[in-house]
Structure 1
C-alpha cells in the first residue's frame, strides 16, 4: 500500500463529508497553531539506531494497564463518528479489534457501549465530569457493565475552546442521535450538567472508587501536573493538547513528553501520548521518547470515511511502517525503542 494513500486521507474525507463535519474534525482552536505544530514536532525527533542486532522477528505486542495488546498504537476518543460513516464507532471498533489494538470511546459516542463491546474490542471510556459529579454515575455504571477496562478523564477542558467558523454549524447537518446515546434522557438540561470548572486531583480518586477501574488523566503537558495526577491515584498520564482544539499555542505533545517521562521514571504509572502522529516512524519516536502507547485521533476518523475497511487499512499501514522502522533502528520489541532517540524535539 503506498504511503500516498495515508497522506491523501484528509483530502478524500474533505471531498466526501459535508463541509461542517469536515470542519468540525479538522479545526484547531484560535489560529490553529497548536494543531499545526504537532506533526512537525515528531519530525524533529532524530534516531540513533542500533546495528548488528537480529531483527528477523519483530514483535509489537505490549501491555497497558494489564491488557495485552498486539500493537502499541491505539485509537483516541473522538465524537461524531457516525457523522463520518453510518457504522461509526462499530466500524472503528471492529477494525481495532482485528488489529489487536485498544479503542478509547468518547462519552459523546453515537453507539451504545454494549454494541461497541460486542465487537470484542478492548476499550476504555473517556469522560468529562459535570459540576454535579453524581450526574456522571449512570454513564460510568453503563460503561463498567459493558466491560470498559479503564476510565480516561479529560483534564484540559474546563470550557470548550472557541474556534472559527462557529462550531454550531455542524448541528445543521448532523443528527443529534449520532452523539451522547449513553446518557440518560434529559441529562444535559439538569442543573449541574455543565462541565466542571472545579476539576481537581480528588476527582481521579473519586472515579477510581466509583468504577473500580484504573483511571487515566488525559490532557497533561507539564511534569508537575503529571506528578500531581499520579499522587492523586492516576494509573497513567496521557500527554495531549486535545488535538490543538483547546488552548491555542499550547506546546506540542512531542515536546512535552520527555519531561513527563523523566518525572515519572521511578513510578509505576504509564505514560501515553497523542497529537500529530501520522506514521509508524512517528510512533517509533513516541516510544523512543518514553511513551508506553501512542494514540491516533484525526487520522482514523479520516480513514473511517471508508468504513471498517478504511480504518483497518490504515492500521495495517501504520503497523507495517512501525515494524520497518523498528528493524532499521535495531529494535525487536517495543521496549527496545527506549534508547534509540538521539535528539528529541527541543522544548
Structure 2
C-alpha cells in the first residue's frame, strides 16, 4: 500500500478498511503522516504480526519527529518511509479552485492530534472531552504547518532519524534521479522509492517509469528500489519488476475501491490486481518471479 492520507474522505472506514485487507493478505501497509486514523487503531485493524511501514512527512520540530517515530515503533511499524519531495505543497490548481485543504477541517491530522509531545507544546489535549473547537483547529494547524515545513530536508540531518529508528530499514520516497539514488546509498539508506507524488508536486515532472532503468543500473542491487508511479494493472506490476524494481506500491486503485464500497471493494481491487499479475507472469512464460527480467519487454523505439 502506498502512503495515502485522508482516507476517510473516500469512505468512513478509511485506513481501518485498507489496512485490514492488506493485513489479511500479508502485504506491507504504509501509513501516511496525513492519516485520518491514528497509529494504534490502524495497527489493530491491520492485525498482529503483519508488515507495517510508516511514511514520515518530516516535521520541522525535532521533538515532534522523535515522538512520531517512537509511537510508530511502539505500534509495530517496521520500515520508515521518508517523503522528501513534499516538504512544501506544490501549486495544485484543482485544489486551489476547490479550496481543498482537509487538514484545516481536522481530517488527515489524527497522528498530530493524538501525539503527547504536541499536547505538551500546545498546552492542551485537543481530543479531551472539554477541548474547544478553536483548540482542535489550532492542533490541526500545528500538525499541518510542522509537517509541511517549507524547509527542505537535508542529507546531513538523516542521523536524527537513524538515532531514533535504529538499524531498522529507512527508505527515501520521491527519488527520481541517479544522483539522489547514489547519495542515498552513500548516506547509508536502505532503499529508495521512485515517485513524483502522483504528478501533484511539479507540473511536467519526469515519470517514475522513465527514471527507473537508470537508477537500477546506478545502484546495482545495493539499495532496495520501490516503484510508486501509476500502477493500474497486474501487467503494470510486471513491467516495473521486469525493469528492476524490487516492489511496487499501490495508491489510486485501492482508493477507488475504498470509495466505491469500502473494505469489500478494496479487497476486490487488490485480489484482482494480484490475480492479473500472477496470470501475466505465467502467460509471459515465467515459472517464478526470479524469471521476470528486462529481456521480456520490448522498448518502444522513437
- TM normalised by structure 2 equals 0.83
Change (3 A) 1:102 1:345: farther
Matched, 1:114 2:40: yes
Change (3 A) 1:223 1:338: same
Query: What's the counterpart of residue 278 of structure 2?
Result: 323
Deviations 1:107-145, CA, capped at 9 Å, x for gaps: 111111111111224211111112333321211111111
Query: What's the counterpart of residue 272 of structure 1?
Result: 226
Matched, 1:92 2:47: no
The 3-state SS of whatever aligns with 2:110 is coil
Deviations 1:6-58, CA, capped at 9 Å, x for gaps: xxxxxxxxxxxxxxxxxxxxxxxxxxxxxxxxxxxxxxxxxxxxxxxxxxxxx
Q: Confirm or deny: 8 A CA contact 2:194 2:226 kept in the other structure.
A: yes
Deviations 1:224-278, CA, capped at 9 Å, x for gaps: 11010121121011011110010111111011001111111151x1000011110
Query: What's the counterpart of residue 165 of structure 1?
Result: 94
Post-superposition offset of 1:187: 7.2
Task: Identify, as 1 or 2, the structure richer in helix.
Answer: 2
Please give the alpha-carbon distance, in whole angstroms, between the structure 2 residues aligned to 1:202 and 1:345.
40
Matched, 1:126 2:55: yes
The ranges of structure 1 where at least 4 consecutive aligned residues each deviate by more than 6 angstroms after the TM superposition are none
Unaligned segments of structure 1, at least 5 residues: 1-74
Please give the alpha-carbon distance, in whole angstroms, between the structure 2 residues aligned to 1:77 and 1:155.
13
Q: Confirm or deny: 8 A CA contact 2:104 2:140 kept in the other structure.
A: no
Q: Confirm or deny: 8 A CA contact 1:273 1:294 kept in the other structure.
A: yes
The 3-state SS of whatever aligns with 2:248 is strand
Instruction: Please list, as runs of the form range in 1=range in 2, the aligned pairs for 1:47-58 lying within 5 A after superposition.
Output: none
Q: How many residues align?
A: 271
Query: What's the counterpart of residue 288 of structure 1?
Result: 242
Post-superposition offset of 1:199: 1.1
Post-superposition offset of 1:188: 4.2
Structure 1 vs Structure 2 CA RMSD? 2.3
Query: What's the counterpart of residue 189 of structure 1?
Result: 142
Unaligned segments of structure 2, at least 5 residues: 113-117, 120-138
Query: What's the counterpart of residue 105 of structure 2?
Result: 176
Post-superposition offset of 1:345: 6.5
- TM normalised by structure 1 equals 0.73
Q: Confirm or deny: 8 A CA contact 1:279 1:318 kept in the other structure.
A: yes
Please give the alpha-carbon distance, in whole angstroms, between the structure 2 residues aligned to 1:344 and 1:129.
38
